[in-house]
Amino acid sequence: MKIEIGDKITLAEEVTDELTAARWGSGSLPVYATPAMVLLVEKAAVKLLEGKLDDGMTTVGTNLNISHVSATPVGCNVTCQCHLTEINRKKLEFQVEIMDDKGRVGIGTHERYIVAADSFLDNAKQKLN
């Protein structure tokens, strides 16, 4: 495993019609949807860990605590700054800040756990029985 506290990444996307609250069903307005912002946070954490875990290992998201503090219209860009702040055995915690061209859009934390991909899937499939 090659992850370290202090690892950082910034991921960006443009707010399009497909990423609005009206389109996602999380509201009625054509502004950046909270679920789209949450997905950007998870994508950033996954990208930060890419290539840094042992073979056969992956991470799963287990907790998000994010405040969406400002609306962003279609056509603006948003960036997610994701910073690994804690490693506690298999638990990873990230501080995240989402910005648009005018300032802060969101802020919070994201938690992921390192798991063995095969056994995690096997356990999930047990729910089918």
Numbered residues of the known binding site: 61, 112
Residue ranges for the known binding site for substrate are 61, 112
68-87 burial code (b ≥16 CB/10 A, e <16): beeebeeeeebbbbbbbeee
Which residues are within 8 A (CB) of 4 and not within 5 positions of it... i.e. 6 or more apart?
84, 87
Strands laid side by side in the 57-68 sheet: 8-14, 77-88, 91-100, 103-116, 57-68
Active site residues: 34, 42, 68
Structure tokens at 29: 């307005």
